[in-house]
Amino acid sequence: MSRVMIIGAGGVGNVVAKKCAQNDEVFTEIMIASRTKAKCDKIAEEIKVTFPRSRTVVTTAQVDADDVPQLAALIREYAPAMVINVALPYQDLTIMDACLETGVHYLDTANYEPRDVAKFEYSWQWAYQDRFREAGLMALLGCGFDPGATNVFTAHHAKHHFQEIQYLDIVDCNNGNHGKAFATNFNPEINIREITANGRYWENGDWVETQPLEISQDIYYPKVQTRKSFVLYHEELESLVKNFPTIRRARFWMTFGEAYIKHLSVLEAVGMTSIEPIDFRGQKVIPLEFLKAVLPAPESLAENYTGQTCIGVQAKGIGKDGREKVHFVYNVCDHAETYREVQAQAVSYTTGVPAMIGAMLMLRGDWMKPGVYNVEEFDPDPFVAAMNRWGLPVDELAGIELVK
């Protein structure tokens, strides 16, 4: 049916490529492109072994995603229908520029952030709205799990359960164990920048800023465990309060173990999480980039990972019957099961599968209109149905308030 280019060959890129190969009726040809071609080749070889019956034709290429002319040249040569961007968030704008230059659709899993400022927001990408619409192209932003599936869960709440959502809590628990003293489940540079930044949540029309990990509470994650969870700022809050203006308060919660916080606190105290360059033996070195280089790669954690993730959205407000209501929509994913299927841990899996689903819905025309959009702006039903089919079953829990 369609030819697609996947830019990025880390843990998430691995999952996207393999799920596309599973879905060979839609993804008849894929190219995996990255700065390091050997990583792309490894994924391509694993696809042959893991999914020998897949009819998807897989090719690989080297590309620098910071270089628009190089990106555009590769896109023109391969001529895909769309690009799935699972590279670094720093590279979102260059890849969007290359898509506009070559006339192909675009999808990513995380919003843009500049390299030199630990700040992420949608303004830079929303500014592309007119250019994509006038070109007759679509850009789908934040189509991973959070953001992505969490936006779909919110739209599902609005369509099926609520006439007015007033309070929204997104919760993300990784109750897994990878056996390492300290490691991050996705790109260490992006992960640590996110956690060490000030938190923010939406309340009564304004953003309330908090100190990093200042606000916490114990939250019960169904089928998993009760875990201490902390308020962070996460990008889907920005689009959700815009697209669902009845929301009075919106928060994002994530779990961290005591050992993780202790390690991170020490690293921050000695300057290893800084993004300010320092002089080291005549060279400029960014401490966080050096730390990333010595930490385990997220994809290397997969083989011995045990436990589950639980990610969901709790909504409170006025139900379809006019009464007050609380409802929870969520997914539980097992690290060992995802490794058996696609040689990936569950954090990569829960991001990669929704990216494949979003691309599929765009290519099939279920979600397709020119412009720049967030996931919650489309009908959630085909996305939820696809999650149930492609490895991320959706569960619901009514009437129990998990987050206070």
Using a 10 angstrom Cβ sphere, with 0-12 exposed, 13-18 middle and 19 or more buried, the burial of residue 215 is middle
The predicted-structure confidence for 328-374, as pLDDT tens digits, reads as follows 999 999 999 999 999 999 999 999 999 999 999 999 999 999 999 99
Out of 96, 113, 141, a domain closes at: 141
Predicted TM-score of the model (pTM): 0.94
Q: What's the chain's length in residues?
A: 404
Query: DSSP string covering 34-57, please?
Result: ES-HHHHHHHHHHHHHH-TT---E
Band (288; pLDDT cuts 50, 70, 90): confident
Q: Write down the mean pLDDT value for the chain.
A: 94
pLDDT at position 57 over 80: yes
Strands 206-210, 199-203: parallel, antiparallel or unpaired by DSSP?
antiparallel
- pLDDT, average across residues 68-73: 98
Q: Where are the beta strands (DSSP E) in 175-248?
A: 199-203, 206-210, 216-221, 225-232
The predicted-structure confidence for 120-173, as pLDDT tens digits, reads as follows 889 999 999 999 999 999 999 999 999 999 999 999 999 999 999 999 999 999
Task: Show the CA angle centred on residue 331, arms to residues 328 and 337, nearest 5°.
Answer: 160
Residue 399 lies in a domain: no
- pLDDT, average across residues 183-192: 72
Task: Show the CA angle centred on residue 225, arms to residues 221 and 231, nearest 5°.
Answer: 55
Q: Are 367 and 361 in contact (CB under 8 A)?
A: yes
pLDDT at 375: 98
The predicted-structure confidence for 166-182, as pLDDT tens digits, reads as follows 999 999 999 988 877 77
Residue 224 lies in a domain: yes
- pLDDT, average across residues 264-281: 82
Do 195 and 285 lie in a common domain? yes
CA-nearest of 240, 376, 247 to 317 is 247
pLDDT at 365: 98
Band (118; pLDDT cuts 50, 70, 90): low
pLDDT at 148: 98
Coil, helix or strand for 288? helix
Which DSSP state fits 297? P
Domain with 48 in it: 2-141
Do 85 and 173 lie in a common domain? no
pLDDT at 185: 67
CA-nearest of 86, 250, 62, 75 to 154 is 250
Residue 233: CATH number of its domain: 3.30.360.10
Question: How many Cβ atoms sit within 10 Å of the Cβ of residue 101?
Answer: 16
pLDDT at position 382 over 90: yes
CA–CA separation, 183 and 99 (whole Å): 34
Cα within 13 Å of Cα(338), Cβ side: 35
Do 204 and 258 lie in a common domain? yes
Do 126 and 215 lie in a common domain? no
Q: Are 312 and 330 in contact (CB under 8 A)?
A: yes
Out of 141, 164, 194, a domain closes at: 141
Using a 10 angstrom Cβ sphere, with 0-12 exposed, 13-18 middle and 19 or more buried, the burial of residue 300 is middle
- pLDDT, average across residues 281-303: 81
Residue 109: CATH number of its domain: 3.40.50.720
pLDDT at 269: 78
CA–CA separation, 355 and 359 (whole Å): 6
pLDDT at 91: 97
pLDDT at 186: 64
Out of 110, 141, 172, a domain closes at: 141
pLDDT at 397: 98
116 or 382, which is more confident: 382
The domain total for the chain is 2
Task: Show the CA angle centred on residue 247, arms to residues 243 and 249, nearest 5°.
Answer: 125
Residue 370 lies in a domain: no
Do 169 and 246 lie in a common domain? yes
The kind and range of the H/E element at 334 are: strand 324-334
pLDDT at 178: 83
The predicted-structure confidence for 214-270, as pLDDT tens digits, reads as follows 999 999 999 999 999 999 999 999 999 999 999 999 999 999 877 777 777 778 778
Band (205; pLDDT cuts 50, 70, 90): very high
- pLDDT, average across residues 87-105: 97
CA–CA separation, 379 and 360 (whole Å): 14
The radius of gyration computed from the CA coordinates of the chain, to the nearest angstrom, equals 20
The predicted-structure confidence for 322-335, as pLDDT tens digits, reads as follows 999 999 999 999 99
pLDDT at 176: 86
Which residues are CB-contacts of 123 (< 8 A; sequence separation ≥ 6)?
A: none
Do 323 and 205 lie in a common domain? yes
CA-nearest of 189, 175, 168, 152 to 336 is 175
